């Protein structure tokens, strides 16, 4: 599997933590046993060296991470409200805005089962052009909608959504985008079905924060309630949710089981500091068992 997009440092009041949605997804997939590449770019600077060291220590392949002499490793300033929900100030341009295509990348993408991308990496024309170069070679395209104002436009979202086989929204994103596409309903079930009708995606998923998630596939709805957790911060919870759901689909778990595991993983991450808490299979299963 290939995760394409931003790798960066999330800067919290108490310090820096590795971040970037595609990297978070890749790291979690790797811990779940799915061979994953992260395709991105960092600067030749101290933050870049620390990022590479962290990724290597976590046994994630770094061969598709480019190194730029002209642009710095990405930085995002994160602030948390009283509920642990995050807001972001994303510096531009960063090295991940300037990812260049290569023949090696095309080969890896064309031989990988899944290619994951988000909307944020397309904010800059250089990385967007690289994304457009890679997408025709992808076998199964996962679009992780990641709306970060002012770094998106509806025309961009329409372009990316039209190419996706799997789309993941949060509930606010689904409401905003489905209404832009013409949906008149405020019900999640209607919005999911509407987006399925107006795209080629075979899977559409919406996360609902602490209330769980819903998946729409081949005319069927799969619902999963949220798992109780004392939230530390929500950074990366949706990324670990998505990684765990994709692992379930790739390993052909029943969709109800895959969605349950994904919601539980997202809750455990929200109950930990930062996006990449170490969570073992045993910890995940024990947590699920408490509420089954």
DSSP class of residue 273?
S
What's this model's pTM, rounded to 2 decimal places?
0.95
| Nearest alpha carbon to residue 38 among 47, 191, 46, 54 | 54
Task: Report whether 134 contacts 105 (CB < 8 A).
Answer: yes
Q: Which residues in the chain land under pLDDT 50?
A: none
Residue with the two structure tokens 């606010």:
172
pLDDT tens-digit profile of 45-90? 999 999 999 999 999 999 999 999 999 999 998 887 877 677 778 9
Q: What is the pLDDT of residue 11?
A: 87
Q: Please list the residues that pair with 19 across neighbouring strands.
A: 8
Domains, the chain, ranges and CATH?
A: 2-290 (3.40.1190.20)
SS3 at position 166: strand
For the chain, how big is the Rg over CA atoms in Å? 18
Cβ proximity of 4 and 116 under 8 Å: yes
Say what the pLDDT of residue 221 is. 97
* pLDDT reported for residue 175: 98
pLDDT tens, 143-163? 999 998 899 999 999 999 999
């Amino acid at each position: 599997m290939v995760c394409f997009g931003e790798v960066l440092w999330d800067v919290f009041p108490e310090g820096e933590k590795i971040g970037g949605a595609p990297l978070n997804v890749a790291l979690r997939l790797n811990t779940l046993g799915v061979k994953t590449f992260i395709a991105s770019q960092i600067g030749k600077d101290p933050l870049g060296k620390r990022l590479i060291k962290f990724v290597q220590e976590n046994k994630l392949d770094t061969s598709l991470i480019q190194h730029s002499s002209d642009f710095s490793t990405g930085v995002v300033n994160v602030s948390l409200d009283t509920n642990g929900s995050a807001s972001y100030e994303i510096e531009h341009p960063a090295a991940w805005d300037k990812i260049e295509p290569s023949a090696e990348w095309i080969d890896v993408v064309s031989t990988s089962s899944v290619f994951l991308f988000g909307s944020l990496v397309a904010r800059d024309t250089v990385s967007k052009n690289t994304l457009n170069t890679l997408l025709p070679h992808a076998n199964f395209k996962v679009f992780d909608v990641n709306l970060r104002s002012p770094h998106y436009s509806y025309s961009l979202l329409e372009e990316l959504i039209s190419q996706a086989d799997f789309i993941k929204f949060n509930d606010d994103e689904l409401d905003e985008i489905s209404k832009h596409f013409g949906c008149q309903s405020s019900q999640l079930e209607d919005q999911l079905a509407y987006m399925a009708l107006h795209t080629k995606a075979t899977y559409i998923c919406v996360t609902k924060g602490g209330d769980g998630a819903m998946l729409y596939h081949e005319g069927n709805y799969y619902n999963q309630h949220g798992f109780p957790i004392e939230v530390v911060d929500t950074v990366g919870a949706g990324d670990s949710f998505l990684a765990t759901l994709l692992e379930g689909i790739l390993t052909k778990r029943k969709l109800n089981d895959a969605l349950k595991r994904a919601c539980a993983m997202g809750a455990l991450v929200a109950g930990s500091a930062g996006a990449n808490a170490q969570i073992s299979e045993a910890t995940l299963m024990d947590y699920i068992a408490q509420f089954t």
